[in-house]
Amino acid sequence: MKELLIATRNKGKVREIADILSPLGIKVTSLNDHPGMPDIVEDGQTFRANAAKKAVVIAQHAGVLVMGEDSGLEVDALGGRPGVYSARYSGENATDESNNDLLIKELSGVPVEKRTARYRCAMALADKDALIDVLEGSCEGLIATERRGTNGFGYDPLFYIPARQKTFGELDLSVKQTMSHRAVALRQFLLLLERYLVAHSG
């Protein structure tokens, strides 16, 4: 069975990705299954750059097919922050809790109509020889004034979808999988991966 290594230790991301890729019948692993992999310094200025770096470096070390993924939140009232720093928005030892606390604080007093934001996701595919491609997805929403729901991870309890009148934290995973930034990127990635597997099936 072909293996795809997701270059992350984030179990929430791995679960979402593995669920959508399940029709391909490939073994999905993560850095948690591959001890000894190098830590990647995410020093890119864009999600694309970070995703590509993760995929290429880990593929060279592991010798298997690798997905590098980088995603985050862009808030218009904050000039696009936290952006590529979403995971460490509140400092080097940031947690989802501390990041959400800081976001609520920074947007204090900002009216609803100016709390527009989007989740962005970049996904790169690489094998031991080369970077194959980088794909992107996004999802528009608003930042709620308080946490709602306990599903998902990251900023999900604050990311409000007006059409659903719910935050990602309140939506079932099955619904989130149809519309999230990661789902949009994954649908494209699925096609890319299928083409790659067919071309390398000999």
pLDDT at residue 24, as a whole number: 82
**Interatomic CA distance for residues 25 and 42, integer angstroms:** 30
Is the pLDDT confidence value at 161 over 70? yes
Q: Name the β-bridge partners of 56.
A: none
**201 Cβ contact list (under 8 Å, min separation 6):** none
Region 109-136: mean pLDDT is 96
Q: What is the CA radius of gyration of the chain?
A: 17
Write out 108-126 in H/E/C secondary structure: CCCCHHHCEEEEEEEEEEE
Catalytic residue among 70, 127, 129, 156: 70
Q: What CATH number belongs to 3-199?
A: 3.90.950.10
* In contact, 121 and 130? CB cutoff 8 Å: no
Tell me which residue has tokens 């979402």: 16
Give the mean pLDDT of the chain.
93
> In the chain, pLDDT over 70 holds for what percent of residues?
100
Please tell me the predicted confidence (pLDDT) of residue 21. 82
Overall average pLDDT of the 103-115 stretch? 96
Half-sphere exposure in the Cβ direction for 18 (13 Å, CA): 15
Catalytic residue at 70?
A: yes
- Residue 162 tokens read as 């007006």
Residue 202: pLDDT over 70: no
Domain spans of the chain, in order of start: 3-199
Task: Indicate if the pLDDT at residue 105 is higher than 80.
Answer: yes
pTM: 0.90
Q: pLDDT tens across 49-64, in order?
A: 999 999 999 999 999 9
